[in-house]
Amino acid sequence: MSRSNALETLTDLAREARDKAGQLLASERKNERQILAHQDMLMNYRQEYAVQLQQLMMDGIDPVTLHNYRQFLMSLDDSIQKASQALQQQSKRVDLSKQHWQTEQRKLTSYSTLNERRAQQERTLVARKEQRQNDEFTTNQVARKSSLHLVGSDEN
């Protein structure tokens, strides 16, 4: 395998790894948004129940209903706390996925840079070869003209 093909293969593999890391990051961010939405829903639900309880307490509430409301609010608080912990854990996964994607992007950038440098070197070599060929052609033309000019002046 030539150096060029190996570098192109590495570049392709790095691009695939970067794309997979990007898909994972997108998935982790989606999960984070879902957990956040769930937490927000629980907090809103808790707020509504707290307002209902407050209204019932102002209107008068029996002890059993008061106990049930408080138990339900405590279970909502527990659910909110669990959602908050899940959100923190998911945020850490998002950060790790982001770091992984950035690492893969840096690899791809490095290989792409090396590939571009190699291509530039090849273009430079081709340009030099063409320049040498043009120089030789010009030198040969000048030499032929000179020899023809000399042959023509010898005949006179």
90-114 per-position pLDDT tens digit: 999 999 999 999 999 999 999 999 9
Q: Model-level pTM? A: 0.71
Q: Is the pLDDT assigned to residue 19 strictly greater than 80? A: yes
The per-residue pLDDT for range 121-146, each reduced to its tens digit, is 999 999 999 999 988 988 888 888 87
- Buried b / exposed e over 100-115, threshold 16 CB at 10 Å, is bbeebbebbeebeeee
Q: Is the pLDDT assigned to residue 152 strictly greater than 80? A: no
Distances (CA, A) of 68 to 50, 74, 114, 127, 149: 12, 10, 68, 86, 117
Average pLDDT (11-25) is: 96
What pLDDT shows up at residue 43? Answer: 97
